[in-house]
Structure 1
Amino acid sequence: MTERITTDDAPRNDNPYSQAVRAGDTLYVSGYGPVDPATSEAVAGDVGAQTEQVLENVDRTVAAAGGSLADIVKTTVYLTDLNDYDAMNDAYRARFAATPPARVCVEVSRLPDDVGIEMDAIAYLGDS
């Protein structure tokens, strides 16, 4: 049994995918770019600022399923420029200071709306 998770607190669009899907105790969060849900526009600033917005979007989606960033066990980070790796890591480290999840980070040629970062996540909600 799966459950589609939706929230107005994170960006939504008309594309054919869910913001997140819960399957048992596991939550699969779709990729988020640095879009402010209030304006539906990408936030200004460097990849550090963009990473902060991405993590806020992920956090809000996990919260809609009853969890928090502490429940995330794996992320995948997509950067359009690996020269932004340190800036992304600084923002990422600030949100996952205690127990960072497993992670993959790859450079991609382009992301929707020409943003510098996108991230998806998997959370374990068995204790939530």
Structure 2
Amino acid sequence: MGKAINGTGVAPAIGPYSAAIVTGDLLFCSGQLGMDPATGDLRDGVAAQAEQALVNLRALLAAAGFGVEHVVKCTIFLTNLADFATVNEIYGRTFSEPYPARSTVQVAGLPKGGLVEIEAIAQRVG
């Protein structure tokens, strides 16, 4: 197994798993909720949760020496697909072309009652 990424400035895992694992040139990021890493509280509403989830993802990437430009695949989990356009607009402010591959899936529920969760795979090139 690779090196676990957990710690200060990174939203803590809420179960028996690592926030991310680096193996070789790849970083596998666990799903990030719209949770304030300092308090563990979810932000209010899907827009604020999506923004915070992406802040948490950027912090996790940085803790491993990666940036958003290294992300090659994201999966977004939504409890309501009616929120797709809102989350899509916020997501589009984080990433630029060429955009990472992405899947968006509606789920019955998320931990802590979250409305959105974002996971990513990143690859360091060169």
1:39 corresponds to which residue?
Answer: 39
TM-score in terms of structure 2 length: 0.94
- Counterpart secondary structure, 1:42: coil
Structure 2: tracts of 5 or more residues without a match = none
CA distance in structure 2 between the partners assigned to 1:62 and 1:99 by the alignment? 18
Contact 2:13/2:19 (<8 A) preserved: no
Structure 1: tracts of 5 or more residues without a match = none
User: Following superposition, which runs of at least 4 residues in structure 1 exceed 6 angstroms of deviation?
Assistant: none
Where in structure 2 are the equivalents of 1:16-27 lying within 5 Å? 16-27=16-27
Where in structure 2 are the equivalents of 1:97-112 lying within 5 Å? 97-112=96-111
Contact 1:49/1:91 (<8 A) preserved: no
CA distance in structure 1 between the partners assigned to 2:7 and 2:74 by the alignment? 20
Matched, 1:53 2:52: yes
CA distance in structure 2 between the partners assigned to 1:11 and 1:4 by the alignment? 14
CA distance in structure 1 between the partners assigned to 2:13 and 2:25 by the alignment? 26
Q: C-alpha offsets along residues 30-71 of structure 1, whole Å, 9 cap, x if unaligned?
A: 011100111110012x32221110011111001011011111
TM-score in terms of structure 1 length: 0.92
1:12 corresponds to which residue?
Answer: 12
The residue type paired with residue 29 of structure 2 is: V
CA distance in structure 1 between the partners assigned to 2:28 and 2:74 by the alignment? 10
How many residues are paired up?
126
Q: Tell me: CA distance 1:74–1:14, structure 2 relative to 1, closer, same or farther (3 Å).
A: closer
Q: Give the % identical residues.
A: 37
Contact 1:26/1:126 (<8 A) preserved: no
CA distance in structure 1 between the partners assigned to 2:62 and 2:123 by the alignment? 12
CA distance in structure 2 between the partners assigned to 1:14 and 1:103 by the alignment? 24
